[in-house]
Structure 1
Amino acid sequence: MKNLIATALLLFSAVAFAHSDTPLKAEHGGTIKEAAAGHQLEIAYSATALSLYIKDHDGNKLSSDGATAELIIQQNNANTRVQLKPSGGNALSLKGDFANLSGAVVIVKYTLKGEKLEQARLTLK
């Protein structure tokens, strides 16, 4: 009986350690968050472009082919909506003036090919 209990505890303890609290790494120097669906979202911006990079829970890049994304940027008591387009690899991007987004709250609504709409909220650094 003791062996059975010990075996059960060992099996279930492995499940408890299956998910890690290791911090997510922003590969492109942006702000990163894991969405409820388990996707890792990174938003990176510069003076001339805004990009969303998507990975799965394990950090593997997910193809942006057939994906859509809308960002609602909340800053200075105003909302700006932008549509990002697939730009190769795991990125969706848009060219424009995005130099002053530090501190902005961004609501990300995205759909990967063949999947349902997901969303997440990030505060840009």
Structure 2
Amino acid sequence: MYVDPPAPRPREPGEMPPVTASGALDDPQRAWEFNPDYQRLVVAWNAVLPHLETLSTALDKAYGLAKSPQTWDAPVGERYVQDIREWRNRLAVYRHSVLTAISDEAADTPRWVRTTAGAPHAFL
């Protein structure tokens, strides 16, 4: 069994952009916005997780029923139990790889990006 990697954190109510030091290179006219690419990763995580949970629950239920002595009365039943066990293992690996890909991408994506939207511009 794998442990799920950390999920990308959605924007918290009242969360403010990072504070920069007011040095000579800082541009006070630039504003910050929550990174839309990071937001897409949050949405992707929240979209895929319920589907993976549904699949896991369905296979766990089938596996529990298949292992029950009341379900199978023939030696062939063990083959089906092994098949379901293999499907569960494959789903666990798939779940781990999908969630790890999203989590790794979120770790490499900044939560806030600078934008010029709403900032005053000089007339040209």
TM-score, normalised to structure 2, is: 0.26
- Write 1 or 2 for the structure with the bigger share of helix: 2
Larger Rg: 2
- Write 1 or 2 for the structure with the bigger share of strand: 1
